[in-house]
Amino acid sequence: MPTSQPDPTISSLQEELAALRLENQQLRADRAALATQQAKDNKYEQSQVRFRTVFDHSPLGNKIIDSELVIKQVNPAVLVMLGFERAEGLLGRKIIEFAHPDHQADWTRLQESLWAHKLPSFVLETCLLRQDGTSFWCQVTSVLFQDEAGELGYTTLEDITERKGLAVRHKRLYDSQETIMHLVAHDLKNPINNIQLLAGLLQSHAGVLSIAPTSAQQDVQKLLTLATQECANANALLKDVLYLGQLEASRLQTHRTDLNAFLHERLEVFRVAAKEKNIALLLDLPAETVFVAIHRDKFGRILDNLLSNALQFTPAEGTIKVRLQAHEGRVRLVVQDTGLGIPAKLQPHVFDKFSAASRPGLYGDTTTGLGLFITKQIVEMHEGQIWLESAENEGTTFYIDLK
């Protein structure tokens, strides 16, 4: 029998049907892709609208700059700040054109930080010039972001002229008060010393020694002694005030120092005072010599203040221990006493200026309220840290960590 041949018409129809199916699948895929893209476009458009709303209506000045500091976009607040009515007056110009001559380097630092060093953000305070030539202070915050045009800086400007002016006025007032206080403190030294000298002379004056009865003479001697003590207290306060002024005005120059030998030498003076009060003063040094960069005079003031306090508040037969040790890669100095301790409510204020935590000592000594404040300032000048642990009737321990 003859073999049947496939119908070419049917084959053609099958091929056409398969092509139509493929085309239909492609159309569905294209439609889905189009819908997805449309959704993305809509979402992007909505985000752009939201961004534009926030950008335009922000009370802060918002602008976008490129790597050459060219202004690409501004909001109305920037126009007001710089004294322009239309954005066209700013777009395409460099923001550094509006920098005060003394502050153009600020924008160079911003440019290098963002585009050269690739910092994600940068903040600075600088001075800008308005179109009319007047100036104002502003805080600039710039954030680097990626855009089709490359890496751009989204930058906000906050007018801080009023805040800057207030800070300057406060600084002037503070400086004036400090100057007056230091002048008064300096000028009071001589009359106080004279009063102290006169009180001492009166104690041995024949007129005082001839006072009768003896009880009356003793009363006068007691009053003169009190006057002398009060003069000594006033001198201690003046000394601290003057030292504080010197401390704030001076720069710290440190030298590599054998701290073992320094402590041993510095404690010699206090050993005499401790012996008179029947207090054991101990020095615990490591076997190896410890070298630290310090300013000898100022660092000595730290020890003077801490040991003076310890001697004032440690009763007879008590102990004061000074310990030097290595701790977690740093040098730690510890001054520990078995004295009265500091009440918990006063501990947060012991380092305050003219601290309310100051109290009379066990031996009639008074404190100025400046000693521990000065101590903390000197420790921080050495890039160190100071803190304390204390319990009433158990004692106080001061810790100082140095690099």
Same fold across 55-159 and 255-402: no
In the structure encoding, which two tokens stand for residue 49, read together?
């609208």
What's the whole-number mean pLDDT along residues 332-355?
90
Q: What are phi and psi of 316, to 5 degrees?
A: -55, 145
Domain at 255-402, CATH class: alpha beta
Give per-residue pLDDT as tens, 208-229: 899 999 899 999 998 998 888 7
Worst-scoring range by mean pLDDT, 60-69, 145-154, 270-279?
145-154
Tally of CB atoms within 10 A around 85: 10
Taking the C-alpha atoms of residue 211 and residue 213, their distance in angstroms, rounded to an integer, is: 6
Instruction: Say which range, 14-18, 209-213, 295-299, 393-397, has the weakest mean pLDDT.
Output: 14-18
pLDDT at 175: 74
Which has the higher per-residue pLDDT, 178 or 116?
116
Answer yes or no: pTM beyond 0.75: no
State pLDDT tens for residues 152-184.
999 999 999 999 888 888 888 777 777 777 677
* DSSP secondary structure, 181-195, as one string: HHHHHHHHHHHHHHH
In 204-258, alpha helices (H) = 206-209, 214-249
Instruction: Evaluate if residue 1 carries a pLDDT over 60.
Output: no
Q: Average model confidence (pLDDT) for the chain?
A: 86
Q: What is the distance, to the nearest Å, from the Cα of residue 276 to the centroid of all Cα atoms in its chain? A: 42
The CATH code belonging to domain 55-159 is 3.30.450.20
- How far is the C-alpha of 299 from the C-alpha of 281, rounded, in Å? 19
- For the chain, give every domain's residue range: 55-159, 165-249, 255-402
Rg (CA), the chain: 39
Q: What is the pLDDT of residues 32-53, one digit of tens each?
A: 888 777 777 667 567 666 767 7
Residue 237 predicted with pLDDT over 80: no
Q: What is the pLDDT of residue 357?
A: 60
